Amino acid sequence: MDADLLRRTTDRLVLAALLDAGQLTRAELAQRVGISRPTASESVRRLADAGLVEEAGRQQGARGRSGTYCRVVPGAGRALVAHAGPGEVVAEVVDAAAGPDESPAADRVHRHPIGSTTTVAELTTALHTLLGEVEAAHGPLPVDRVLSVADPVDSAHGRLVLLEGSPFVLDEGSLRDVIGDAGVLDNDVHWAALAERAARADAGDPVDNFLYVYLGAGLGAAVVDEGRLVTGRRGLGGEIAYVLTQGADGRATRLLDALCELDVALPGTTSLDPVLLRERLVDEATRRRVGEAVGGALASCVSLLDPGLVVLGGPWSDAPGLVDALTEALDPLAPYPVRLESAVVRRDAPFLGARARAVALARERLLDAV
């Protein structure tokens, strides 16, 4: 290996170690990366000259000679994350030096209202308005952008796809104008499932094979197999709203239609009203009916996919008694017992999942700059 390539490789390893740890002394860097202390010091000097690393105060309480901490310069690597769903669009500029599971800072999260239903043109306008506010507050927008949308998504082409009964975006079209050529666009439930997997791993309860079901204004699911999303040919895997179940009259119908039969949708839409649903689920007969509808759809998914766990997320998934009603309906239909649990991540799961990806992209670009 020539000397220049060796230096670049060392600098990349040192930078990665600082991103992972937050801050380290030169001695700690040498031990973690497996290099000599003089080599670590030279690498820190080169990275500092490039504007990527800075000193961050003296080590306190250490035996012997104390060292000086080094860290990645805040803002040296950035990415943008945004989420669009019924009611509002949300965005934040994230820092490569931030932990992927670090909570968003309230003063850095920007919000803009949008209708409970919208069109691609209206959504594009709302997102551009929001990103203009972000740019005014934090400077030029990063190239790397991650967008979550509560809608069927063809992620490979950066497009929203119209499926009959889609509750949020009422037509289809591209969002490349918003996210750019380097941007990543995906369905909100996919991001929520990734946030759930990460949270369980952090809690010491890793689950790599599960079905995540989102019960909110819209219905969605995500299949995680061996730790990876299974999204289908066009990214439309997991559209559980269209899985057949039993309607009130005993006939086969789509899950979305079965729930709309209960008069829990917003007037003139197929967008469910989570607040009204929670209120209605207090009634035992309604709870049983919802359990039968969702449980019937789950039985088909379980039979086909064989998940190790079914995770229930979304605004009305934790309504009192709902898990028991679903279990009671699912057990006679499923070919084998399956575990149902409420999601660990209860708030902002899609945004948090997309945010973790944005931090990862910011880190990748920063490391590639070395």
Domain extent listing, the chain: 3-72, 78-192+349-368, 204-342
Task: Reply yes or no on whether the pLDDT at 98 is more than 90.
Answer: no
Fold observed for domain 204-342: Nucleotidyltransferase; domain 5 (3.30.420)
pLDDT of residue 234: 86
Tokens describing residue 69:
């901490």
154: pLDDT strictly greater than 60: yes
Q: What does the chain come to in residues?
A: 370
88, β-bridge pairs: 85, 113
Query: What fold characterizes domain 3-72?
Result: Arc Repressor Mutant, subunit A (1.10.10)
pLDDT at 363: 94
Provide the pLDDT for residue 211: 97
pLDDT of residue 314: 93
Q: What is the pTM of this model?
A: 0.89
The pLDDT of 217-237, averaged and rounded, is: 91
**pLDDT > 80? residue 104:** no
String of DSSP letters for 50-74:
TTSEEEEEE--S-SSS--EEEEEPT
Residues sharing a CB contact under 8 Å with residue 218, sequence separation 6 or more, in sequence order = 86, 150, 151, 166, 167, 168, 241, 271, 272
| Dihedral, CA of residue 245, residue 265, residue 122 and residue 150, to nearest 10 | -40
What's the whole-number mean pLDDT along residues 104-129?
90
Q: Which residues are within 8 A (CB) of 278 and not within 5 positions of it... i.e. 6 or more apart?
A: 315, 316, 319
Amino acid occupying residue 108: R
Check pLDDT > 80 for residue 18.
yes
CA distance 240 to 257: 12
Residue 65's pLDDT is 58
Model pLDDT for residues 234-256, shown as the tens digit of each residue: 888 999 999 999 888 889 999 99
Range of 102-111, 156-165, 243-252, 309-318 with top mean pLDDT: 309-318
Mean local confidence (pLDDT), 8-30: 92
Domains 3-72 and 204-342 share a fold: no
How high is the mean pLDDT of the chain?
Answer: 91
pLDDT at residue number 268: 80
Fold of 78-192+349-368: Nucleotidyltransferase; domain 5 (3.30.420)
Q: Which whole number is the average pLDDT over 130-154?
A: 95
Q: Which residues pair with 213 in a beta bridge?
A: 221, 312
Average pLDDT over residues 361-367: 93
What's the pLDDT at 103? 65
How much is the pLDDT for 99? 63
**In this structure, what token pair is assigned to residue 139?**
């400077």
Mean local confidence (pLDDT), 2-9: 87
pLDDT of residue 62: 53
Nearest one of 190, 198, 213, 206 to 314, comparing CA atoms = 213
Per-residue pLDDT, 60: 62
Q: What is the Cα–Cα distance from 350 to 315, expressed in whole angstroms?
A: 12
Q: What is the pLDDT of residue 63?
A: 58
Residue 112 pLDDT > 80, yes or no? yes
Q: What is the tens place of the pLDDT at every residue in 33-80?
A: 999 999 999 999 999 999 999 987 776 655 555 678 999 998 899 999
Share of the chain above pLDDT 70, in %: 95
CB 104 within 8 A of CB 134: no
* pLDDT band (50, 70, 90) for residue 106: low
